[in-house]
């Protein structure tokens, strides 16, 4: 699985806005791993250039086209691995039609902060945890 599909699958496909902590949480739930800054940057930028993602004030959401592509990729539902393969196929078909989209920069510090908020938000019993993603 390419990480662009992993990040794509970690963003809600109902048009609701999510922050990096939500994306990290869903990516972890799907793959039992925390995405690195490079993986987040790559995936978010690919989706934005494809016209599948909008973002503002550190919030991200799928466009109508992105929502439709995500739904096509998961129907009929089989398993998460098939969903990722289908997302990869969706991304391969569209290429990068908007190469001049503003660049989304996700730094290591932003990723660590998103991880901290994820732990605080979704794992309250581990609030005192100081581990950070590698």
CATH number for position 28: 1.10.10
Domain count, the chain: 1
Residues 6+ apart with CB under 8 A from 9: 26, 27, 30, 70, 73, 80, 83, 84, 87
Task: Give a yes or no: residue 134 inside a domain.
Answer: no
Residues 6+ apart with CB under 8 A from 4: 42, 43, 46, 47, 88, 91
Structural domain range at position 55? 3-126
Task: Give a yes or no: residue 131 inside a domain.
Answer: no
Task: Give a yes or no: residue 54 inside a domain.
Answer: yes
Average pLDDT, the chain: 86
Provide the pLDDT for residue 10: 92
Provide the pLDDT for residue 126: 59
Q: What predicted TM-score, i.e. pTM, was given to this entire model?
A: 0.84
Provide the pLDDT for residue 63: 95
């Amino acid at each position: 699985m390419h990480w662009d599909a992993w990040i794509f699958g970690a963003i809600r496909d109902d048009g609701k806005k999510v922050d990096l902590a939500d994306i990290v949480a869903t990516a972890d739930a799907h793959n039992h791993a925390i995405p690195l800054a490079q993986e987040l940057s790559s995936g978010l930028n690919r989706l934005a250039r494809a016209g599948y993602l909008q973002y503002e004030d550190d919030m991200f959401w799928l466009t109508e086209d992105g929502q439709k592509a995500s739904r096509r990729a998961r129907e009929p539902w089989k398993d998460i691995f098939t969903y990722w393969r289908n997302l990869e196929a969706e991304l391969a078909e569209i290429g990068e039609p908007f190469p001049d989209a503003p660049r989304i920069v996700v730094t290591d510090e932003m990723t660590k902060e998103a991880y901290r908020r994820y732990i605080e938000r979704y794992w309250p019993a581990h609030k005192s945890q100081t581990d950070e993603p590698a």
